[in-house]
């Protein structure tokens, strides 16, 4: 007869979390990332203490962002490039930012089965997008995940996302080098140019430049170069043809990333971008906390009904009601 064992999950202490993470223990790292994703107040508190303690071990990786529509070939590239980087002695973490996970509660990205070779390597770590958060929430968690992975010794962090809109911009804001992956014939280039995401990209990768597609890819490269020359927004942008069927193309892309990193370090852009990102992150947190404070306050709870009624009846303009509510809130805090 099988005997059931009762597993009692003990909460790790701050010290246990930190020690495990710094030693590169994958289980502890996974637990810490789960803690980071928790919305519970006590978990947040514990997590912030852990994060503060491991901060001296963070910041030493190259953070690479990669965005593109589903099917562009991102995970194939990450699988191949990640394996090559590990061959060179690196440790590679792959994190996903997937806004659809907020809706579905699951994640289509970062799924280990998509990068089977890479995920079986001890020097790699693949984490799907946190679910149950808004895009802003997912982005904040991903930023924290980057720091934890760095503290655990990963020196290359790849942040992958789907789409060429707002999510791409979020990933640009948390990485050092940002790659935009496009395909020929998908109308991608026009979309990307329209949405401005191509301006943010350090490297535009025209993927699947193989077989019958090779010539079209060459043409697309030329037309993109012309667009950037005309608008004078070329910057130091690289536009590269890539095919995961040709390993030398992936090596070439990795060289381009490495050269871009060196260039940014020499020019000071690398550190400047990180400083700006940290300050932006702090301000985004302030905004979030202020809004939370306001809506959760007793003052708002008791005063809002009256103002809402006036707005619905049309006896008070919404902007004036908002102003008055904030005045009541401020007065209440000052009297506290």
Which residues lie near ligand GDP (CB under 6 A)?
A: 68, 70-76, 207-208, 210, 243-245
Contact of 161 with 168, CB cutoff 8 Å? yes
Of 20 and 68, nearer to ligand GDP (C-beta) is 68
Q: Is 238 helix (H, G, I), strand (E, B) or coil?
A: strand
Task: Quote the strand ranges of 100-213, DSSP E.
Answer: 124-127, 156-162, 177-182, 203-206
Q: Which is nearer to ligand GDP, 28 or 213 (CB)?
A: 213
Q: Which is nearer to ligand GDP, 102 or 182 (CB)?
A: 182
Query: To the nearest whole angstrom, how small is the minimum distance from the Cβ of residue 259 to ligand GDP?
Result: 22
Please, what is the minimum distance in Å from the beta carbon of residue 208 to ligand GDP? Answer: 4
Q: Yes or no: say if 75 and 171 are a contact pair by the CB < 8 Å rule.
A: no
CA–CA separation, 26 and 49 (whole Å): 19
- 92 forms beta bridges with 124, 156
Four-residue CA torsion sign, 18, 150, 92, 43: positive
Collect all residues with Cβ–Cβ distance below 8 Å to 41 and sequence separation of at least 6. Answer: none
Q: Choose between 73 and 137: whose C-beta lies nearer to ligand GDP.
A: 73
Output the residue with the shortest Cβ distance to ligand GDP: 73
Question: What is the spatial distance between Cα 276 and Cα 11, in angstroms, rounded to a whole number?
Answer: 35
Residue with tokens 């030329």: 222
Query: How many Cα atoms are found within 13 Å in the side-chain-facing hemisphere of 187?
Result: 3
Work out how close the CB of 150 gets to ligand GDP at its nearest, in angstroms, rounded to a whole number: 24
Residue among 31 and 114 whose Cβ is closer to ligand GDP: 114
Please name the residues in contact with 114: beta carbons below 8 A apart, sequence gap of 6 or more.
75, 79
Taking the least distance from each CB to ligand GDP, the nearer of 19 and 210 is: 210
Q: Name the minimum Å distance from CB 109 to ligand GDP.
A: 8
| Cβ distance to ligand GDP smaller for residue 219 or 278 | 219
CA nearest neighbour of 280 among 130, 129, 143: 143
Q: How far is the CB of 154 from ligand GDP (least distance, A)?
A: 20
Please state the closest distance from residue 198 (CB atom) to ligand GDP, in A.
17
Residue number, 173 or 207, with CB nearest to ligand GDP = 207
Helices (H) and strands (E) counted in the chain, each on its own, are: 15, 7
Compute the least distance from the CB of residue 183 to ligand GDP, in Å.
9
Residue 84 CB, nearest approach to ligand GDP (Å): 15
């Amino acid at each position: 007869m099988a005997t059931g064992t009762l597993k009692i999950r003990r909460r790790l202490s701050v010290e246990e979390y930190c020690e495990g993470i710094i030693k590169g223990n994958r289980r502890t790292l996974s637990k810490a990332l789960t803690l980071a994703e928790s919305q519970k107040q006590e978990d947040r508190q514990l997590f912030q203490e852990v994060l503060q303690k491991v901060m001296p071990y963070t910041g030493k990786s190259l953070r690479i962002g990669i965005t593109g529509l589903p099917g562009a070939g991102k995970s194939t590239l990450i699988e191949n490039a990640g394996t090559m980087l590990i061959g060179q002695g690196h440790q590679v973490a792959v994190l996903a930012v997937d806004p659809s996970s907020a809706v579905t509660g699951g994640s289509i990205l970062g799924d280990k089965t998509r990068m089977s070779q890479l995920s079986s390597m001890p020097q790699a770590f693949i984490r799907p997008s946190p679910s149950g958060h808004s895009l802003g929430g997912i982005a904040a968690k991903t930023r924290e995940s980057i720091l934890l992975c760095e503290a655990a010794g990963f020196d290359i962090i790849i942040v992958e996302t789907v789409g060429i809109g707002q999510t791409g911009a979020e990933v640009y804001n948390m990485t050092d080098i940002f790659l935009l992956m496009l395909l020929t014939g998908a109308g991608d280039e026009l979309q990307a140019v329209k949405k401005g995401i191509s301006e943010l990209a350090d490297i535009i990768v025209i993927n699947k430049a193989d077989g019958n597609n090779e010539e079209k890819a060459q043409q697309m490269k030329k037309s993109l170069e012309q667009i950037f020359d005309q608008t004078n927004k070329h910057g130091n942008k690289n536009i590269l043809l890539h095919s995961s069927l040709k390993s030398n193309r992936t090596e070439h892309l990795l060289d381009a990333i490495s050269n871009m990193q060196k260039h940014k370090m020499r020019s000071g852009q690398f550190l400047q971008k990180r400083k700006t990102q940290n300050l932006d992150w702090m301000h985004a947190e302030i905004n979030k906390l202020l809004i939370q404070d306001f809506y959760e306050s007793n003052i708002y709870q008791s005063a809002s009904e009256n103002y809402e009624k006036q707005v619905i009846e049309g006896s008070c303009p919404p902007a004036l009601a908002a102003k008055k509510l904030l005045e009541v809130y401020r007065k209440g805090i000052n009297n506290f």
